[in-house]
Each structure stands twice: as structure tokens, then as C-alpha cells.
């Protein structure tokens, strides 16, 4: 494999890195006045990377000729499908930001650049087939994310969120590194396939420790219970477009990464990690659902909701089969527009002073004041709760179908019973919007700049999770199946 082939395989990452660097220079010279232009250019870069990944996903490409840099990196259909979601979510984060940040005079030129670098990091994460590549991607994504979390510099909560995220994120990275060193020590390699071969047969105690620490470090990144404590605080403190970004793109990346590590590097040790994943899944579902009940802040509620959703996704991982992986991918591709739509809807609301609203109580009577937004948010909520005919149901459906097919009926039954708890707080939002009298907190739209792009984004993402989404199930299923197959195909 020569160098140019490898470069061709990382074309999306190259596009993003180079445009990120170029835009950084533009930002340095032109200053914050050029923020909008840079955002638009960053969007175009993401669009180009998106287009580069499409053929890989459609063709279900996999195998030896998708491996770059001697097994450090793999641009297969699995990675590319995850990249599509990551780029789409990053794009949404760019579209969302100006409307929000300009209002609090914090829109600065480095925002789009940071999002681009974060997207590059995530791309590397999902394509990594070596522990070192994995770590580089993860840190690149995280460093950009730490800055994004504290992006509103003059807001204490934002600074606090950034610091908290940084300290806890570093701790998790440390745990991950420790696990990686143990794994390397007991398997003699950092490449996933070599680790897989070396760890066949009985797992030694040391390697088991390595596995557990790697999983703990990654569980932190996907905020699975019991490593979720940072999530509500960071989500609450970070500016809302950044929260929307955190809840979507990095989740996809970290889950895809965890899947690849477990299915490839530890693929021969399914029995060792399945019980851990089952625990993480059920604990996340239950804690995510229970934790959300008492919340009065929309962002905290959506944080717990994301924990809850991660639990459902992990059920697909616990199945540890091609069907389970495919189900996870389908779930993720529904989860991303669902989350984005939720945040966009909330972002579109503001009070009389023009400030964004965050408290659930402020949503009271929204269906009278902003009916279109309220109806969209209702679709999102029922979708998150998994009530048909909303498309969110389909994600849960495929995950549980995979679990049942793998004879994990009890896991499915417990998980689905716990989703009733989750339904309670989604219903609460609908209740507040539709049943309560308007509180007067939200004023009806006055056609501000940026509202049209937000409206388009909301309409698009709501359309994706509306019952019309079912028409895409055939295509989505086929794509996810091919992607899952490419993951399990040993090079």
C-alpha cells in the first residue's frame, strides 16, 4: 500500500484539516467580523467531507483496500456511516451557533474552526484501528470540545462547564491510557486485529483489567452510567449550540469507537465484556430516566435523556452481532436528528428581552404562542419516548429486535419496561407546552436574523423523525447492515 492510496482514503479528514487550518488563518487575520463567512466556508468543508463519505457508505466498501497507513486507520463503510452522522451534526452545530452566540455577543471566528477540528478528531476516532490512532483522535476531539464548552468566556457557568469537562475528561483519558498500556502489555500489540488474535482463548487477569479500564475510559466519553456525572453539569453550562453538538456528534463517535474496540480488539472475549455492557445499558436507561424526572432545566433534561438513549444503544452492542451493530447504527442515525431537532426548537424560543429560555416552566402554553415550534417539539418528545408512529420508535424497535433475535429476551423486557419511566418526563414537556396556560415567558417570533435557517433546520430534522421516516427504513436498514458487515469483516 503506497502513501498516495492512504492519502486518498483519508480524503475527508484531509479536507477538514486543511480547511480548518486555512480558516484558522483567515480568522486570525480577519477577526470576528469574518465569523459568518468562516462559518459558511466551514459548512462547505463539512459538506465536501460528507460527499466524500457517501460512496463508501452506499457501496458498503470494506476489506483490505480500505486500510490506510499499514493498519492504523480504516475507512470502511462502518466508519463512513458514522462520519456522515458526525458531519451532519457538526453542520447543524454551525448553523445553530450564530443565531444564539450573536445575541450574547460571543460569536467569534474560532467557533467554526474548533468545530471543524473536533470533527476531524471524531473522524479519526471512528476510523481508528489502532490504540494510538484511537487516542490521538479522542484527544483531538476532546481538546476542541473543552474549549467549546467554555466558549462564552464571560459567563461563569460556561467557564465552569469547560473546567469540569477538562478535569474529568483528563481523568477518563488517564484511565483509558492505563487500560491501553495493560492491553498492550498483555497482547504485545496496539493494533486491534493483532490484539484480537493475541487475546484469543482464556483472558488473563491483566488483560481483563486492561479491558475494564479501556471500557471505563470510553464509557466516560459516551456518558454511560456510572460514568455520567459530568454530563448534566457540562450540558447545562455550555452554550446551547455547543450542548446540541455535544449531545449528537461526539456520542456517535464514541459509540462507534467503543463498538470497534469491543468487536475487533476484544471480539474473541464477548463473554467478558457483554455483562459489563449489559450493566452499563440497563443502568443508563434507568438512571437516565429517573434523573430526568426532577429536572426543571431543559438542557439538563436533555442531558439525562441522552444518557437514557445511550443505554438503549448499548443494548445493541450487548447483542454483539452484526444485527446488533446494524441496530445501533440505525438508532444513532435516528437519535442525531431527534436530538438536534430538540435543541433547535428550544433555541428558537426567546423571552421578551430577547434572551434564550432554558427553564421547562417557561415553555408553558407554548402551543398557543409558537404553535409550529410546539408541534415540532411534541414530535421530538414522542419520538424520544419511542411512541409510534414517530420515527424514534423504529430505533428502539430494531435494537430490541436484535436483542430478541439473540435470545436476550430478559434484557429487552427490562429495558423496555424502564422506558415507561422515560416516557413520563417526555410527556411532562408535552403537558407543559399543550395543557398549561401560557406563562408569558416566551414571546412569539419576530423574524430575527438567523431564524429562517433555524426554522429550515428544525423542519428538516423534524421531517426525518416524523412518520415519514418509516419510508426510509428499507434504505437505512440496508446501509446499516452493510456497514455492520464491514466492521466484522476481518481484513
Tell the smallest beta-carbon distance from residue 127 to another protein (Å).
Answer: 27
Q: Does 382 bind another protein (CB under 8 A)?
A: yes
CA distance 201 to 207: 12
Q: What share of the chain is helix, strand, coil (3-state, %, to 5)?
A: 80, 0, 20
Q: Does 367 bind another protein (CB under 8 A)?
A: yes
Q: Which is nearer to another protein, 106 or 333 (CB)?
A: 333
Q: Which is nearer to another protein, 217 or 422 (CB)?
A: 422
Instruction: Look at residues 459, 489, 464, 458 and name the one whose alpha carbon lies nearest to residue 476.
Output: 464
Strands 73-74 and 67-68: antiparallel
Q: Which is nearer to another protein, 208 or 414 (CB)?
A: 414
Tell the smallest beta-carbon distance from residue 341 to another protein (Å).
Answer: 17
- Interface stretch with another protein, choices 54-62, 188-196, 228-236, 469-477 (CB under 8 A): 469-477
Instruction: Look at residues 48, 103, 6, 74 and name the one whose alpha carbon lies nearest to residue 450.
Output: 103
Print the binding letters for residues 200-219 with another protein: x by CB under 8 A, - otherwise: --------------------
Q: Which is nearer to another protein, 25 or 413 (CB)?
A: 413
Tell the smallest beta-carbon distance from residue 252 to another protein (Å).
Answer: 21
In a 3-state reduction of DSSP, which class is residue 68? Answer: strand
Q: Where does 104-204 have alpha helices with state H?
A: 110-127, 131-149, 156-187, 192-198
CA distance 450 to 469: 27
Q: Does 290 bind another protein (CB under 8 A)?
A: no
Q: Are 298 and 208 within 8 A, CB to CB?
A: no
Residues 179 to 198 in contact with another protein, rule: CB under 8 A: none
Q: Are 45 and 116 within 8 A, CB to CB?
A: yes
- What crossing angle do the helices spanning 77-103 and 451-465 adopt, rounded to 10°? 140
CA distance 123 to 146: 18
- Interface stretch with another protein, choices 17-25, 77-85, 427-435, 443-451 (CB under 8 A): 427-435
Q: Which is nearer to another protein, 254 or 320 (CB)?
A: 320
Q: Are 334 and 314 within 8 A, CB to CB?
A: no
CA distances from 353 to 281, 297, 349, 443 (A): 42, 19, 11, 9
Q: Which is nearer to another protein, 24 or 301 (CB)?
A: 301
Tell the smallest beta-carbon distance from residue 470 to another protein (Å).
Answer: 5
Residues 387 to 426 in contact with another protein, rule: CB under 8 A: 387-389, 393, 397-398, 400-401, 404-405, 409, 412-413, 416-417, 419-420, 423-424
Q: Which is nearer to another protein, 180 or 412 (CB)?
A: 412
Tell the smallest beta-carbon distance from residue 291 to another protein (Å).
Answer: 18
Q: Give residues in contact with another protein (CB under 8 A).
A: 367, 375, 382, 387-389, 393, 397-398, 400-401, 404-405, 409, 412-413, 416-417, 419-420, 423-424, 427, 430-431, 434-435, 470-471, 473-474, 476-478
Amino acid at each position: 500500500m503506497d502513501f498516495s492510496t492512504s492519502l486518498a482514503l483519508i480524503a475527508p479528514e484531509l479536507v477538514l484539516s486543511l480547511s480548518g487550518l486555512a480558516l484558522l488563518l483567515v480568522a486570525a487575520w480577519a477577526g470576528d467580523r469574518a465569523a459568518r463567512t468562516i462559518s459558511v466556508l466551514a459548512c462547505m468543508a463539512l459538506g465536501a467531507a460528507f460527499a466524500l463519505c457517501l460512496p463508501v457508505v452506499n457501496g458498503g466498501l470494506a476489506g483490505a483496500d480500505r486500510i490506510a497507513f499499514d493498519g492504523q486507520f480504516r475507512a470502511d463503510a462502518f466508519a463512513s456511516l458514522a462520519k456522515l452522522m458526525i458531519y451532519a451534526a457538526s453542520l447543524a452545530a454551525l448553523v445553530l451557533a450564530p443565531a444564539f452566540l450573536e445575541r450574547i455577543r460571543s460569536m467569534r471566528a474560532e467557533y467554526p474552526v474548533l468545530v471543524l477540528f473536533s470533527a476531524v478528531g471524531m473522524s479519526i476516532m471512528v476510523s481508528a484501528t489502532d490504540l494510538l490512532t484511537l487516542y490521538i483522535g479522542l484527544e483531538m476531539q476532546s481538546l476542541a470540545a473543552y474549549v467549546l464548552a467554555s466558549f462564552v468566556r464571560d459567563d461563569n457557568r460556561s467557564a465552569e462547564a469547560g473546567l469540569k469537562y477538562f478535569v474529568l475528561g483528563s481523568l477518563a483519558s488517564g484511565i483509558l491510557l492505563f487500560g491501553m498500556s495493560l492491553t498492550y502489555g498483555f497482547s504485545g500489540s496496539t493494533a486491534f486485529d493483532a490484539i484480537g488474535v493475541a487475546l484469543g482463548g482464556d483472558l488473563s487477569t491483566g488483560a481483563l483489567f486492561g479491558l475494564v479500564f479501556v471500557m471505563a475510559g470510553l464509557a466516560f466519553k459516551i456518558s454511560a452510567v456510572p460514568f455520567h456525572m459530568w454530563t448534566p453539569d457540562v450540558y447545562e453550562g455550555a452554550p446551547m449550540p455547543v450542548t446540541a453538538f455535544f449531545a449528537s456528534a461526539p456520542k456517535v463517535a464514541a459509540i462507534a469507537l467503543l463498538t470497534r474496540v469491543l468487536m475487533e480488539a476484544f471480539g474473541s472475549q464477548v463473554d467478558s465484556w457483554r455483562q459489563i455492557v449489559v450493566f452499563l445499558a440497563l443502568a443508563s436507561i434507568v438512571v437516565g430516566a429517573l434523573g430526568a424526572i426532577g429536572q426543571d432545566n431543559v438542557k439538563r433534561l436533555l442531558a439525562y435523556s441522552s444518557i437514557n438513549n445511550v443505554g438503549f444503544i448499548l443494548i445493541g452492542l450487548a447483542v454483539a452481532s452484526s444485527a446488533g451493530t446494524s441496530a445501533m447504527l440505525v438508532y444513532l442515525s435516528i437519535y442525531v436528528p431527534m436530538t438536534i431537532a430538540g435543541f433547535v426548537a428550544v433555541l428558537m424560543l426567546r423571552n421578551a428581552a430577547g434572551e434564550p429560555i432554558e427553564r421547562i416552566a417557561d415553555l408553558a402554553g407554548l402551543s398557543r404562542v409558537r404553535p409550529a415550534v410546539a408541534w415540532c417539539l411534541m414530535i421530538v418528545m414522542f419520538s424520544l419516548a419511542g411512541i409510534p408512529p414517530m420515527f424514534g420508535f423504529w430505533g428502539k424497535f430494531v435494537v430490541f429486535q436484535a436483542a430478541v433475535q439473540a435470545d436476550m429476551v430478559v434484557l429487552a423486557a427490562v429495558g423496555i419496561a424502564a422506558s415507561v419511566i422515560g416516557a413520563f418526563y417526555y410527556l411532562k414537556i408535552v403537558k407543559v407546552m399543550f395543557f398549561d396556560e401560557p406563562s408569558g415567558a416566551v414571546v412569539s417570533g419576530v423574524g430575527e436574523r438567523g431564524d429562517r435557517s433555524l426554522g429550515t433546520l428544525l423542519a428538516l430534522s423534524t421531517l426525518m423523525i416524523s412518520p415519514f421516516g418509516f419510508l426510509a427504513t428499507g434504505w437505512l436498514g440496508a446501509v446499516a447492515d452493510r456497514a455492520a458487515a464491514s466492521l466484522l469483516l476481518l481484513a
